[in-house]
């Protein structure tokens, strides 16, 4: 017996339409952001490495307080492009530029970029790529720090170090990521949007 008209179910085309797809301009701007962040990383490599060493000598684990700048790429990429994969893409490009220009870590920089980008990406994904306020940015920065921490348990043999060291280091990475990557990254995107450079993106229009 008929119970009324049956509404058509969403087909593959409808589902694809709902997914945010990358435009050519997204790829270009993401690459530009990656290169810009890579240059920031390269400048910070000397300053940050010296600060990391000095703080670790003061109290092992405190070096994590300067690491936030190296986490900027994923946060900025996610805030500007606002599409799946943006945080990973920008952070990895930035890591590639940093490694190509020369740093203390060589190829390991790429592993770090991937781990940090994935950390930030997961936060944007949790919010469905729909929320991009300062709180989300700080959470993404902290998650990027968590990604770095997990990677370094193995690449830097931190897993063999004391619980005290790892607890201090993790806390410092989370704080530094939230402030130097999240809060600073959010401010930088807002400042860039006010120049009109992001008018073709939601980040520019909402600013």
Model pTM score: 0.89
- Give residue-wise pLDDT tens across range 121-136: 999 999 999 999 999 9
Question: Whose CA is closest to 72, among 103, 106, 98?
Answer: 98
Helix 134-155 to helix 163-176 angle (10° resolution) is 150
**End-to-end C-alpha distance for the chain, whole angstroms:** 55
Report how far residue 136's alpha carbon sits from residue 124's, in angstroms, rounded to the nearest whole number: 7
Q: Give per-residue pLDDT as tens, 136-173.
A: 999 999 999 999 999 999 999 999 999 999 999 999 99
Structural domain spans, the chain: 23-206
């Amino acid at each position: 017996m008929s119970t009324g008209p049956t509404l058509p179910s969403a087909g593959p085309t409808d589902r694809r339409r709902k997914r945010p797809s990358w435009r050519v301009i997204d790829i270009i701007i993401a690459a530009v952001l990656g290169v810009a962040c890579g240059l920031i990383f390269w400048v910070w490599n000397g300053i940050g490495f010296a600060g990391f060493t000095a703080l670790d000598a003061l109290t092992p684990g405190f070096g994590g307080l300067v690491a936030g700048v190296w986490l900027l790429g994923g946060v900025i990429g996610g805030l500007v492009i606002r599409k799946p994969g943006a945080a990973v893409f920008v952070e990895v490009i930035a890591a590639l530029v940093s490694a190509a220009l020369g740093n203390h870590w060589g190829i390991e920089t790429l592993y770090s970029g991937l781990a940090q980008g994935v950390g930030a990406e997961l936060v944007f994904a949790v919010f469905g790529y729909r929320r991009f306020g300062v709180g989300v940015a700080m959470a993404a920065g902290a998650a990027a720090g968590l990604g770095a921490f997990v990677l370094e348990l193995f690449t830097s043999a931190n897993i063999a170090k004391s619980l005290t060291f790892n607890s201090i280091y993790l806390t410092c990475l989370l704080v530094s990521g939230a402030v130097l990557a999240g809060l600073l990254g959010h401010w930088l995107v807002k400042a860039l949007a006010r120049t009109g450079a992001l008018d073709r993106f939601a980040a520019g229009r909402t600013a």
